[in-house]
A and B are shown apart, each in its own frame.
Chain A
């Protein structure tokens, strides 16, 4: 009856998802910093860094989201928690914010960053922070009232 067996949670939060999701976390947080550096300097190289960080972050975020979605659809509805669902919503929000932010960063010079790009970078980082919290909450949440299910699956596998 121990509900917090991490192994049981893995299908719901794919290992691939969490590995790939580290890229956007690092890249988008980095883009916020380089955006701030551009606003302060305003040396174009910082804006260039932001554009590349956002591009790579976006590429990995999309792949991570695909694996996340696959894992989610393979998980039985009963085993999904509210935290899981909110996490999915936040992941979509991060993708949308990052896409718009990538486009804003194709503008030239000041308007590539200030004010819209910087604002979006900040919102993206906040959204990712919430996603991380939801992930941790989800990971700690009790899993199932029906451990039988797990047994059944194992029997199936065998």
Chain B
């Protein structure tokens, strides 16, 4: 009864199975380099079909921060210098009316528990790209005492904050948006340290804070604060319902009472909240969803309309349905009213900072346009972002192609010399760039 073993047959089967597996894996590893990224910049981006991966494309730029004396590169007619270094993970600059510069030094509160085997793997991967100083959870103040444009005095204005990001001065009140609450501190011009305990204006949606940055801007009349609250997940993988309540939204907080309402929704991770100068139009840059393809979904710059819905999680760019939302959760009513944003910035660039140039001190061509800090991609083979781009504006609307104005954050070796985050214009009309990759505050001025 014994049948002789035929090792070849079994080995061939196993080899065929492994070959099929290898093909399945590699056929999915499109790194996005064959795609024209320019086609995703502007009002009507090309949107490829959603992809589903066995292994989502990951390319993390290992940190190798700028050495002393090294700088990013700038477009012709501009120059750049470091005006503060060795900061503790600077995320957002903010310029006070007297010219003092605040730098919010912050990082994730780390309150998102890993729930799946994947979360542990991703946690390890992202540890690999952590760089520089431990996030300070504080606000540093820089002052130019000799009037040469470069600050020469430095101190800690506020310490022991809880993953702060947004900051706004209205009259004598300095507001700080921590990851869990908006705090108010009394502030007089020239004050270099705040010792008064803050008063909580309102709690903010918190919990696990997957997207933890709460950017903030005051309305032009000072009566309201607008606070960006990112989603608690990429695409509902931390649960729907209460986990995502009042998230992926911009909240409008009444400055007098602290009461808030959802001003606009469906904005996966809104940052760079800024009113267009001289208008009541709120603009923001939004990080769109990941793991649906190297060229999906383009991050964007948009004006934010009162009561508008921008799609997340159900759809993107209007009615493009995300197939990962369970049918039980789908909301055709919301998809029907989802509006497409104004201006796509290309996929996975991670815009976190936005500032409009009102002074025109960098050159007439920049006057009135938007500068955007792109922190850089992880979810595509070919890196994208890691730069500051400029979008020209006319009549308060984007009017042309984005151009790169500050570059060189990725070295020739493919490592990250720095990563731009928040932006601001200082009293002299120079562009300030917070760089949390090299713990530096950069200042861009006109010149050679």
A interface, CB within 8 angstroms of B: 41-45, 47-48, 51-52, 55, 77-82, 84-85, 88-89, 92-93, 96, 99-100, 102-112, 114, 116, 141-145
Q: Which residue of B lies closest to A102 (CB)?
A: B117
Of A110, A112, A145, the contact of B325 (CB 8 Å cutoff): A110
B49 in the interface (beta carbon within 8 A): no
Q: Chain B 51-89 against A: per-residue CB contact (8 Å), 1 yes, 0 no?
A: 011111000000000000000000000000000000000
Contact A109 B54 (CB under 8 A): no
> Chain B contact residues (Cβ within 8 angstroms of A): what range?
35 or more
Contact B1 A107 (CB under 8 A): no
Contact B54 A104 (CB under 8 A): yes
Contact A103 B5 (CB under 8 A): no
Chain A hits for B116, CB < 8 A: 47-48, 51-52, 105-106
Of A85, A92, A107, the contact of B5 (CB 8 Å cutoff): A85
Of B4, B17, B53, B234, the contact of A92 (CB 8 Å cutoff): B17
Given contacts A96-B17, A104-B54, contact A109 B326 (CB under 8 A): yes
- A96 to B13 Cα, complex, angstroms: 12
Q: Which residue of B lies closest to A73 (CB)?
A: B7
Q: Which residue of A lies closest to B21 (CB)?
A: A96
Contact A109 B5 (CB under 8 A): no
Contact B118 A88 (CB under 8 A): no
Of B162-170, B235-243, B435-443, which binds chain A? B235-243
Of A44, A79, A80, A82, the contact of B238 (CB 8 Å cutoff): A44
Q: Chain B 19-60 against A: per-residue CB contact (8 Å), 1 yes, 0 no?
A: 011001100000000000000000000000000111110000
Q: Which residue of A lies closest to B233 (CB)?
A: A108
- A114 to B323 Cα, complex, angstroms: 10
Minimal beta-carbon separation of A104 from chain B (angstroms):
7
Contact A100 B17 (CB under 8 A): no
Contact A77 B235 (CB under 8 A): no
Of A77, A105, A107, A142, the contact of B53 (CB 8 Å cutoff): A107
B364 in the interface (beta carbon within 8 A): no
B256 in the interface (beta carbon within 8 A): no
B115 in the interface (beta carbon within 8 A): yes
Q: Which residue of A lies closest to B121 (CB)?
A: A106
Contact B236 A99 (CB under 8 A): no
Of A41, A82, A93, A108, the contact of B237 (CB 8 Å cutoff): A108
Contact B17 A93 (CB under 8 A): yes
Contact A109 B237 (CB under 8 A): yes
Minimal beta-carbon separation of B96 from chain A (angstroms):
42
Contact B329 A42 (CB under 8 A): yes
Chain A hits for B10, CB < 8 A: 85, 88-89
Instruction: Knowing that A81-B3, A100-B21, A100-B54 touch, tell me 4 more A-B residue pairs with CB under 8 angstroms.
Output: A85-B5, A88-B10, A104-B54, A145-B2
- A114 to B10 Cα, complex, angstroms: 32
Minimal beta-carbon separation of A130 from chain B (angstroms):
14
Chain A hits for B237, CB < 8 A: 44, 108-109, 112
- A88 to B239 Cα, complex, angstroms: 40
Chain B hits for A85, CB < 8 A: 3, 5-6, 9-10
Contact A142 B54 (CB under 8 A): no
B14 in the interface (beta carbon within 8 A): yes
Q: Which residue of A lies closest to B55 (CB)?
A: A103
18 intermolecular pairs with C-beta atoms under 8 Å apart: A42-B326, A44-B238, A45-B239, A51-B116, A77-B7, A80-B2, A80-B4, A80-B5, A89-B10, A92-B13, A100-B24, A103-B54, A106-B55, A106-B117, A109-B236, A109-B324, A110-B323, A110-B325
Q: Which residue of B lies closest to A106 (CB)?
A: B118
Chain B hits for A47, CB < 8 A: 116
Chain A hits for B6, CB < 8 A: 85
Contact A111 B324 (CB under 8 A): yes
B195 in the interface (beta carbon within 8 A): no
Minimal beta-carbon separation of B230 from chain A (angstroms):
16
Contact A77 B4 (CB under 8 A): yes
- A45 to B241 Cα, complex, angstroms: 14
B291 in the interface (beta carbon within 8 A): yes
Minimal beta-carbon separation of B331 from chain A (angstroms):
14
Contact A99 B21 (CB under 8 A): yes
Minimal beta-carbon separation of A14 from chain B (angstroms):
16
Given contacts A96-B18, A99-B21, contact A81 B2 (CB under 8 A): yes
Interface residues of B in 294-333 (CB under 8 A from A): 323-329
Q: Which residue of A lies closest to B56 (CB)?
A: A106
Contact B1 A142 (CB under 8 A): yes
- A42 to B235 Cα, complex, angstroms: 14
Of A77, A92, A105, the contact of B14 (CB 8 Å cutoff): A92
Contact B18 A84 (CB under 8 A): no
Contact A42 B328 (CB under 8 A): yes
Q: Which residue of A lies closest to B313 (CB)?
A: A109
Contact B325 A109 (CB under 8 A): yes
- A29 to B13 Cα, complex, angstroms: 25
Given contacts A44-B237, A51-B117, A92-B14, contact A84 B326 (CB under 8 A): no
- A144 to B329 Cα, complex, angstroms: 61
Minimal beta-carbon separation of A154 from chain B (angstroms):
20
